[in-house]
Chains A and B, each alone.
Chain A
Amino acid sequence: MFKLGDYFEEALALLDRESLCYRDRIDLGGHIVDLATHSPILRAQFLPALAHLASESESDADLTILYADSSGTTSPLKAPPMDLFNGQGYAATIDQHDVQIFYQPWLRQVFLYSRLRRIGLYWVINPEEVPWWEMTFSFRIIFHWWSRDQDLQLMHAGAISEDGKHGWLIPGPSGSGKSTSCLQLLLSGRYYLGDDYVILRTKPPFKVHSLYQSAKINHDNFDERFTALHSQLRNPRSYRDQKAILHIGEHYPDRLLKSADLVGILVPRIASPSVAQSTVSAVSAAQALMSIAPTTLHHLPHHRAEAFSKISTVVNAAPCYQWLLGSDKHLLTESFGRVTSDEGRKNA
């Protein structure tokens, strides 16, 4: 019978035998996270999305992430029994109270986390097999597991600030317009915290923290709206098979913000192509919850009840708006300016 705790210890013991000589430290909204690997290839794949959070703090780490691949280690990790897992990478039949596991067999990689030790592990068979999307939201599932015991929640959302201090959450599933609007707002001079996943502080004072600096845009959208940024692409040869990926801190370091006070939620929706104007209208907290919770929890099958409760707390506390995105990019950024100044006046 498969015992998850034993499997975690086995993976940790294998990693202990390796020289995890590539060590990095990031500051995630005041929480220190240590990352260590034996592999310069894996480090080059996973670290850039987090590089803007690099820290030299000497505080104890709140979370440690160890990552490795079988091709570069002396003893490879065995796979967990695949028949325990569903298509979400979740195994409902094994106790995951302390140790959690996320495993989608066809990707030949496994994520593990011990709540007690606050150690996350990532193991992939071969660094060449790391899916391109994993590199854009490095260790996403481990951050989600860790946030369970913090006043934090990983959110499938972008975040933008008008003034470098007050942040707006822009949640939504792929195709809702959140990445396009975040990049458009960055180019119009606003501050960027993320366009796909950010971390929210879910108790007062509510805050939004940047997690990844990797902006991702569907290739057809990129070709239509952002061709001027072609020289900034991380993947100029493969973006049409993946998504167009840019690392914001490399090109707009002064506009990449690490944290902001959360002032509101803008739920984007793409208007009909014939509509040029972008408009903002108030929505209820219930409507905002319906726009945020399903897309955030869809890819994160663990401790959903706690995450649902945290998201509910935030939508109850913050003003929520629907943002109907018209086709004119100048009118789009103007509409953002209007809602932020209106909300600023209310709070003044």
Chain B
Amino acid sequence: MNQQVAAEVFEDECIIANLDSGLYYSVQGIAAGLIQALPCADPDAAIATICASLGEQRATAIAELSSIWQELINEQLVVDRVSSNAALGTATAAKEYKRSELNRYADMQDLLLLDPIHDVDEDGWELRE
């Protein structure tokens, strides 16, 4: 997981926060198990483990988790390379299939840019007209 990201995993839902940008995400269904498996050196193996006991829905679940893993990378929530000294997470087999979703919430996205202000007094404070 990226350094500026925090996650809290609940029973079958996970909340992920990008603490720099103010973007929040919820991960639902068996994909919450993917977050629990972080840091993850081999995501394909972790996905295979999570989906191992899902019978007929195994292929659907693998496709969903693979897609969500890619979204997590695209959103810069996880990195696809794990440092060699990181303590790896453990993937566990999901007991039943629950559809996976990644939702993105931007309502509290931080306004990070500052308008340039050039007129300052001798002590560096912005000048008031």
What 0/1 readout, one digit per residue, does chain A (65-76) give for beta carbons within 8 Å of chain B?
Answer: 000001000001
Q: Which stretch in A77-85, A163-171, A334-342 binds the other chain?
A: A77-85
B114 in contact (CB, < 8 A):
yes
Q: Are B111 and A87 in contact (CB under 8 A)?
A: yes
Q: How far is the CA of A321 from the CA of B35 in the complex (A)?
A: 26
Residues of B within 8 Å of A81, CB to CB, are 124
Interface residues of A in 74-116 (CB under 8 A from B): 76-82, 85-88, 92, 105-106, 108
Q: Are A290 and B24 in contact (CB under 8 A)?
A: yes
Residues of A within 8 Å of B113, CB to CB, are 86-87
Q: Are A297 and B117 in contact (CB under 8 A)?
A: no
Residues of B within 8 Å of A79, CB to CB, are 120, 123-126
* Nearest-CB residue, chain B, relative to A309: B6
A229 in contact (CB, < 8 A):
no
Residues of A within 8 Å of B14, CB to CB, are 286
Chain B contact surface mostly: loop
What 0/1 readout, one digit per residue, does chain A (288-322) give for beta carbons within 8 Å of chain B?
Answer: 01100111011001001100110010001000000
Q: Are A85 and B124 in contact (CB under 8 A)?
A: no
Residues of A within 8 Å of B11, CB to CB, are 284
Residues of A within 8 Å of B123, CB to CB, are 70, 76-79
Q: How far is the CA of A304 from the CA of B112 in the complex (A)?
A: 15
Q: How many A-B residue pairs have CB under 8 A?
A: 92
Total chain B interface residues with beta-carbon distance under 8 A? 28
Q: Are B105 and A290 in contact (CB under 8 A)?
A: yes
What 0/1 readout, one digit per residue, does chain B (14-30) give for beta carbons within 8 Å of chain A?
Answer: 11010110101010000
Cβ contact of B126, chosen from A76, A106, A284, A294, cutoff 8 A: A106
Q: Are B117 and A87 in contact (CB under 8 A)?
A: no
Q: Are A85 and B19 in contact (CB under 8 A)?
A: no
Cβ contact of B114, chosen from A86, A294, A297, A316, cutoff 8 A: A86
Q: Are A88 and B24 in contact (CB under 8 A)?
A: no
B107 in contact (CB, < 8 A):
yes
Min distance, Cβ B93 to any Cβ of chain A, angstroms? 22
B8 in contact (CB, < 8 A):
yes
Q: Are B112 and A87 in contact (CB under 8 A)?
A: yes
A285 in contact (CB, < 8 A):
yes
Q: Are B22 and A298 in contact (CB under 8 A)?
A: yes
Q: How large is the interface on A (under 10, 10 to 19, 20 to 34, 35 or more residues)?
A: 35 or more
Residues of B within 8 Å of A77, CB to CB, are 123
A246 in contact (CB, < 8 A):
no
Q: Are A297 and B26 in contact (CB under 8 A)?
A: no
Cβ contact of B24, chosen from A78, A80, A82, A293, cutoff 8 A: A293
| Residues of B bordering A, CB below 8 Å | 6, 8, 10-11, 13-15, 17, 19-20, 22, 24, 26, 105, 107-108, 110-114, 117, 120, 123-126, 128
| Residues of A bordering B, CB below 8 Å | 70, 76-82, 85-88, 92, 105-106, 108, 125, 129, 173, 284-286, 289-290, 293-295, 297-298, 301, 304-305, 308-309, 312, 316
20 A-B pairs whose Cβ atoms sit less than 8 Å apart in the complex = A77-B123, A79-B120, A79-B125, A82-B120, A87-B110, A87-B112, A105-B117, A284-B10, A285-B10, A290-B105, A293-B15, A294-B17, A294-B22, A294-B24, A297-B17, A297-B22, A298-B108, A308-B8, A312-B15, A316-B10
Q: List the 3 closest pairs (A to B, CB-CB), nearest first.
A: A79-B124, A294-B108, A304-B19
Sample of 17 further A-B pairs with CB below 8 A, known A286-B13, A293-B17, A295-B108: A79-B120, A79-B126, A81-B124, A82-B126, A87-B111, A87-B112, A88-B111, A125-B125, A129-B128, A290-B24, A294-B17, A297-B19, A297-B108, A305-B6, A308-B8, A309-B8, A312-B15
